[in-house]
Every structure is written in C-alpha cells, then in structure tokens.
C-alpha cells in the first residue's frame, strides 16, 4: 500500500531491496524471491493498469495538510502546540490513514469533503500513537520520518503530553468540522466510537502491550496478534470510518473492516521483510522502528513471511469483490492500495510530492 506514474501489474511481484542504508541516494535492487499470485491479476474484473495511484494520492495530500495546519495553530501554551505541529506536520508523512478514509467514503458514494475532518483526525490519532510508541519505555525509537522523534527533541515529558493532547483534539475536530446537515449526528457518533475503540484497551493499546511482553511473539499466532492490534487496527478504522461517512451498509462496513485490517498488516509485514534486507542500520532502521514481537521474519523465517504477504494480499482483494459490481471504478484505489503495500513503487515526500523510486517509501514510517 509495480508503480511508477501509473499502477503497473504483473503476474510476478518482487520486493525491492535498498542498496545501502547509509546512502543518500536509494536505488532499487531486486531480491531473488518472488511473491507468487495464485490468481492472474489480468483476470480480476475490477483492476485497471491505467489507474494512477500516485496522482490520486498526491492530489489529496495538500488538502489534508492544509486542514491539519489550520487545526493546530500556534496558541497558548505555545510549547505543546509546537510539539504537536512538529510531529503532525512532519515532512515525508504519507497520510495513508486519511487517504484510506477518503477513498472508502468515495467508494460508497460519499463526497470527499465530508470525510476530510475525520481523515485529518485519523492522522492526529496516528501521529499520537507514533509519538507514544517511540518513547524510551516503549519502542525506544530515536528517529521518526527521518528526523529526531518527538521525545528526542522536546523531552519525554512533553512527548507524553503531546500525544495525550492530540487524541482529544482529533475528536473535537470530527465533531466541530463535520456538518450535521451533511452527515447525520448518529453517524458522527459511530465514527467517534470507532476511533475510540481503535486506540483503546482492545485495540492499539493492546497491541503495544503485547509488543512489550518479553516472552511474547514466539509463535505465528502471537506475532499476528501484535501486527493486527498495533498496525492493522489503524487501517481498519480508516476504512470503516470512511464507509460510515459515505453511507455504507452494515455488510459493506464489515467487508471494509476486514479489508483495512488485512492491508494494515500487509504493509507492516512487507516493512519487516525490507528491514531484514537492511541489516546494519543504526537505531530503528529506515523509519525509527525497533525490532519487535511483530517480526514475522524473525519468528517464522523469510520464506513463510513471503507466503503470508501473498495470503494477506489475496485476503484484502477478496473483500473488495462485489464492490466493483456495485460501484465500478471507484473501487480501483482500494485495489491499488493493496499492491502499493507490497510494491512501494513511489515514495511520498513533503507537501504531497511523489517520487517514483521503488522501495524508497520504506525509508519513512507512515
């Protein structure tokens, strides 16, 4: 979640490898492993090699970043707002969560304008979770998105408070900027409830807890639970919230829920595989991530991890079958997110710019 200026599909997929973790210029090299496709992509009725995911993605980033910029002005007390802006408005953020939300809203017939407040709120929540994950008592990550983590610059105490402040700000943004004349209040409540569930004790907080347990993660089931809770939950929430806002039916929401979770886990498993290819990187590798209980490569080995990538991709695409019959080409972004999670055919830079360079996007955490 291969692309250049357009989505490129083939029967065999390769995972890119970074030539040098210390180089300022990253060029793709391809591993000898192939991710097999059990079903020929060309026969999938709702895929199109002409869909330009990069243009779709970058066309929305400027709107998302403008909304985030306006939502977090410098105010009193200035230091905490500076800290929030430092992390939320960081260059290089992919804005995957808000774009997933907008895409699912548009899929079921909603206008992207009604999804924008929730999309921005999801980015606030996602950023808050990253700030807390990076803390010395959690993942102990000194870097995030290619620069010092929030706590490394502002201190642990302010980093904790920054994350704490972003969570309620996200809820306020949804309530204060989603027009009740366009979105029923009951739908807004469902969105808020979904976000709260995602970050709570059965969602991302549980994932982080499991990730901290020293004896956890030795089996595939353990690693998958960490992956689903710590990473899959955010993508699931993004897909579901967009569905709610667009007016999706209950069955459609559940399919979007399973789709989002599969894509979120898929992206992280591919990150794990790519990280294995970059041994020797100081600190937390490409993005600030430390090795954790969520590592399928470490738990099961490279071959099994590659098989799981294919299984997750098939699972995600299976959930999209039927949407194409009803909604036509509006499902194409969701199919493309699945392949981007594996291919990484372009990387998102600051202010919504994209560069075609396979594998580069793995250098920055979302």
pLDDT tens digits for range 192-212: 999 999 999 999 999 999 988
Q: Which has more confidence, 7 or 202?
A: 202
Is residue 182 one of the residues assigned to a domain?
yes
pLDDT for 1 equals: 38
* pLDDT band with cut points at 50, 70 and 90 for residue 217: low
CATH number of the domain within which 190 lies:
1.10.600.10
| Residue 41 belongs to some domain of the structure | no
Binning pLDDT at 50, 70 and 90, where does residue 176 land?
very high
In this prediction, residue 108 carries a pLDDT of 98
Percent of the chain with pLDDT over 90: 66
Pair of tokens at residue 68: 């985030």
Alpha helix ranges (H) inside 72-155: 78-88, 96-107, 112-133, 150-154
Q: Is the pLDDT of residue 102 over 80?
A: yes
User: What is the model's pTM?
Assistant: 0.82
Asked whether residue 21 is assigned to any structural domain, the reply reads no
Whether the Cβ atoms of residue 316 and residue 265 lie closer than 8 Å to each other: no
Structural domain contains residue 8: no
Average pLDDT (267-280) is 83
Rounded Cα distance, 142 and 125, in Å: 20
Q: How far apart are CA 48 and CA 295, in angstroms?
A: 33
What pLDDT sits at residue 92?
83
Helix (H, G, I), strand (E, B) or coil at 347: strand
pLDDT tens column, 122-151: 999 999 999 999 999 998 999 998 899 999
Task: Indicate the DSSP class of residue 34.
Answer: E
In the predicted model, what is the mean pLDDT of residues 69-91? 97
Task: Please tell me the predicted confidence (pLDDT) of residue 299.
Answer: 86
CB 122 within 8 A of CB 241: yes
Beta bridge partners of 12: 36
Cα separation, 99 vs 112, in Å, equals 10
- Report the range of poorest mean pLDDT among 12-16, 59-63, 107-111, 349-353: 12-16
- pLDDT-derived band at 40 (thresholds 50, 70, 90) equals very low
Q: How far apart are CA 190 and CA 211, in angstroms?
A: 29
Contact of 198 with 233, CB cutoff 8 Å: yes
Three-state DSSP state, 365: coil
- Segment 326-352 shows an average pLDDT of 85
Task: Establish if 154 belongs to a structural domain.
Answer: yes
Q: Does pLDDT of 24 surpass 90?
A: no
pLDDT band at 168 (very low <50, low <70, confident <90, very high): very high
Domain total for the chain? 1
Report the alpha-carbon distance of residue 31 to residue 297 in Å, rounded: 15
In this model, does residue 55 exceed pLDDT 80? Answer: yes
Is pLDDT larger for residue 176 or for residue 288? 176
User: Does 173 have pLDDT greater than 90?
Assistant: yes
Average pLDDT on 25-53 reads: 44
pLDDT confidence tier of residue 34, bands split at 50, 70 and 90: very low
Beta bridge partners, 355, equal: 347
Tell me how far apart the alpha carbons of residues 228 and 236 are, in angstroms, rounded to a whole number. 9
Q: Which structural domain, as residue segments, surrounds residue 178?
A: 53-343
pLDDT at 23 over 50: no
With a CB cutoff of 8 Å and minimum separation 6, the contacts of 136 are 151, 156
CA dihedral 46, 254, 343, 300 (to 10 degrees): -130
Lowest mean pLDDT among 13-22, 97-106, 204-213, 288-297: 13-22
Residue 353 Ramachandran class (φ > 0 left, ψ -120 to 50 alpha, else beta): beta
């Amino acid at each position: 979640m291969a692309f250049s200026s357009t989505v490129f599909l083939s029967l065999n997929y390769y995972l890119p490898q970074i030539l040098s973790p210390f180089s300022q210029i990253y060029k793709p090299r391809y591993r000898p492993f192939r991710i097999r496709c059990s079903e020929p992509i060309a026969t999938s009725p709702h895929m199109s090699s002409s869909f330009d995911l990069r243009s779709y993605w970058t066309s929305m980033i400027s709107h998302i970043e403008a909304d985030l910029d306006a939502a977090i002005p410098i105010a009193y007390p200035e230091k905490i707002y500076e800290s929030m802006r430092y992390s939320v408005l960081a260059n290089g953020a992919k804005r995957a969560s808000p774009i997933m939300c907008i895409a699912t809203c548009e899929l079921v017939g909603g206008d992207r304008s009604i999804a924008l407040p929730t999309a921005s709120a999801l980015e606030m929540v996602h950023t808050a979770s990253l700030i807390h994950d990076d803390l010395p008592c959690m993942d102990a990550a000194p870097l995030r998105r290619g620069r010092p983590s929030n706590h490394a610059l502002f201190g642990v105490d302010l980093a904790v408070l920054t994350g704490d402040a972003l969570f309620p700000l996200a809820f306020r943004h949804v309530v204060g900027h989603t027009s009740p004349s366009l979105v029923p209040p009951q739908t807004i409540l469902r969105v808020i409830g979904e976000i709260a569930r995602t970050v709570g004790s059965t969602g991302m907080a549980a994932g982080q807890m499991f990730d901290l347990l020293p004896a956890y993660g030795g089996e595939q089931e353990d690693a998958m639970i960490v992956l689903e809770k710590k990473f899959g939950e955010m993508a699931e929430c993004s897909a579901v919230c967009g569905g709610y806002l667009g007016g999706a039916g209950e069955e459609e929401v559940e399919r979007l829920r399973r789709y989002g979770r599969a894509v979120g886990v898929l992206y992280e498993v591919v990150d794990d595989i790519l990280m294995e290819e970059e041994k020797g990187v100081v600190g937390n590798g490409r993005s600030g991530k430390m090795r954790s209980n969520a590592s399928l490569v470490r738990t099961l080995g490279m071959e099994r991890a590659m098989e799981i990538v294919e299984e997750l991709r098939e699972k995600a695409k299976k959930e999209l079958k039927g949407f194409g019959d009803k909604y036509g080409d509006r499902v194409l972004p969701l199919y493309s997110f699945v392949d981007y999670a594996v291919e990484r055919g372009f990387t998102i830079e600051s202010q919504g710019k994209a560069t075609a360079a396979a594998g580069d996007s793995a250098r920055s955490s979302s």
